Amino acid sequence: MSTPLTTTTVRILFEGQELEVPAGISVAAAVAGYAHPGHTCKHPVDGSGRAPFCFMGVCFECLMEINGLPDVQSCLVTVEEGMQVRRQPLPESIKL
Amino acid sequence: MSTTAREHDIIIVGGGISGVALAYGLADRGRQITLLDGPTATDKASRTNVGLIWCQSKFAHLPDYASLAFLSARLFPELSRELSEVSGLEIPVNYRGGLIPCLGEEEYSSRADYIDRLRQVLEEYPGEMISRSQLERKLPAITFGPEVTGAAWCEADGIIDPLALLRAYKVALTRVGVTTLKTLVHQVEPLAGGGYRLHTATGPLECQQLVLAAGLANRRLANFAIPDLPVHADKGQVLLVERLPQVMPIPMLGVTQTFGGTVIIGFRHEYVGHDTQVVPSAVASEGQWAIRVWPALGKRRLIRTWSGLRVMPKDSQAIYSRLPGHPGVTLVNTHSAVTLAAFHTRLLADYLLGGELPELARKMTLNRFGFAS
* Residue pLDDT, tens place only, A32-68: 999 998 999 999 888 899 999 999 998 889 999 999 9
Give residue A7's pLDDT band: very low, low, confident or very high (50, 70, 90).
confident
Residues of B in contact with A41 (CB under 8 A): none
The percentage of chain B sitting over the pLDDT mark of 90, rounded to a whole number, equals 92
Measured in angstroms, the CA of B143 and the nearest CA of chain A are apart by: 6
Q: Which of B283, B298, B313 is the last residue of a domain?
A: B313
Please provide the average confidence, as pLDDT, over all residues in chain B: 95
Domains and CATH numbers, chain A: 9-89 (3.10.20.440)
Q: Is the ipTM of this complex over 0.90?
A: no
Q: What is the pLDDT of residues B50-103, one digit of tens each?
A: 999 999 999 999 999 999 999 999 999 999 999 999 999 999 999 999 999 999
Report the predicted TM-score, pTM, of the whole model to 2 decimal places: 0.92
Give residue B262's pLDDT band: very low, low, confident or very high (50, 70, 90).
very high
Give residue A3's pLDDT. Answer: 59
Buried b (16+ CB within 10 A) or exposed e, B93-105: bbbebbbbbbbee
Give residue B2's pLDDT band: very low, low, confident or very high (50, 70, 90).
very low
Query: Do B199 and B260 fall within a single domain?
Result: no
**B115/B125 Cα distance (integer angstroms):** 8
pLDDT at B1 over 60: no
A60, A63, A91 ranked by CB distance to B244: nearest: A91
Nearest to B147 by CA among B157, B135, B156: B135
Q: In terms of CA atoms, which chain A residue is nearest residue B241? A: A60
Query: A60 vs B242: CB contact, 8 Å cut-off?
Result: yes
Query: Do B361 and B256 fall within a single domain?
Result: no
Residues of B in contact with A92 (CB under 8 A): 245
pLDDT at B279 over 80: yes
**How many structural domains does chain B have?**
2
Please provide the average confidence, as pLDDT, over all residues in chain A: 90
Query: B143 vs A95: CB contact, 8 Å cut-off?
Result: yes
- Dihedral sign (CA B348, B351, B355, B356): positive
Full domain range(s) for residue B283: 231-313
Query: B247 vs A96: CB contact, 8 Å cut-off?
Result: yes
Query: A96 vs B142: CB contact, 8 Å cut-off?
Result: yes
- Enumerate the β-bridge partners of residue A11: A20
Measured in angstroms, the CA of B295 and the nearest CA of chain A are apart by: 8
Residues 6+ apart with CB under 8 A from B148: B101, B102, B103, B132, B135, B292, B293
Residue B337: CATH number of its domain: 3.50.50.60
Burial label, B316 (beta-carbon count in 10 A; 0-12, 13-18, 19+): middle
At B191, which helix (H) or strand (E)? none
- Indicate the pairing of strand B179-182 with strand B33-37: parallel
